[in-house]
Amino acid sequence: MDPAPVPQSFLDRIRRIDEDPATPAYAGLDTPYPEEEQYFANEEENKMRIMVTIPGGLERLSCIELAAKFGNESDILLRNGKIHFEVGKDKLSDIHKLRSVDNLYLNIADVKFDFEAHNSEVALFDLAEKIDWSFVENIWMKNQPFVRKRSSKRTSSKSSASKAIFKEIDENGDVVAKKHCRDFAAATFSLDQKVLKNNLK
């Protein structure tokens, strides 16, 4: 049976955002949401901003797949090798079912930062403190059941040193499942622990 055609209204939400397609993505000119001066993900919003990387040559296929799955709630923003879109927090499992993308990323912040004008670690830590790490930890824990488990031979001591228990709660508040996963603080060992302590309350 052939799949149902993607509604044209969904396909109309696909658009390129490259300021100059010939310019490399690392130049930072193709900002996905240029109308916003800055963005910080937080618990109050019902949506997450996701970026996916796509294999070369599959841009059209990936855009159509994303439009079919999420075109009713988000624009599909294509730039050089990447696609940006917004999706509800309850759609994590649907994101992991995408078949035409390489990697998935949660956009927790999008800011303009002049490294020449703020060439100091203090400025970077000030920026990190503005991020809602409680929200990030919550999404991290919800995402863990969908992450493929590595072989025990490949698991490093850093990744296995600290474990947490993810509790799946139903609408009545009852625990319906428990799964072991990596502890968020241990997984983000590169972040300053004081920043995490101040934000993970």
Which residue intervals of the chain bear CATH 3.30.70? 8-111
Q: Single out the residue of 57, 38, 40, 2 nearest to residue 136, CA to CA.
A: 40
Class of domain 8-111 as given by CATH: alpha beta
Q: Of 13-22, 39-48, 177-186, give the range with the top mean pLDDT.
A: 39-48
Is residue 31 over pLDDT 60? Answer: yes
Identify the pLDDT of residue 185: 57
Per DSSP, the residues of 128-160 read HHTS-HHHHHHHHHHHGGGSPPPPTTT--HHHH
Q: Per mean pLDDT, which range of 66-80, 82-96, 151-165 is the poorest?
A: 151-165
Identify the pLDDT of residue 122: 80
Stated length of the chain: 201
Identify the pLDDT of residue 113: 73
Higher pLDDT: 173 or 38? It is 38
- d(CA 52, CA 96) in angstroms, rounded, equals 11
Higher pLDDT: 154 or 9? It is 9
Partners of 76 in the beta sheet?
14
What confidence tier does 104 reach under pLDDT thresholds 50, 70, 90?
very high
Q: Reduced to 3 states, what is the DSSP secondary structure of residue 23?
A: coil
Mean pLDDT across the chain: 76
Backbone torsion region of residue 105, taken as left when φ is above 0, otherwise alpha when ψ lies between -120 and 50, otherwise beta: beta
Within the chain, where are the H helices? 8-11, 59-70, 92-96, 121-129, 133-143, 157-160, 184-187, 193-199
In tens, the pLDDT along 139-191 reads 988 888 888 654 444 444 444 444 555 555 556 656 555 555 555 555 554 45
Percent of the chain with pLDDT over 90: 26
Higher pLDDT: 197 or 71? It is 71
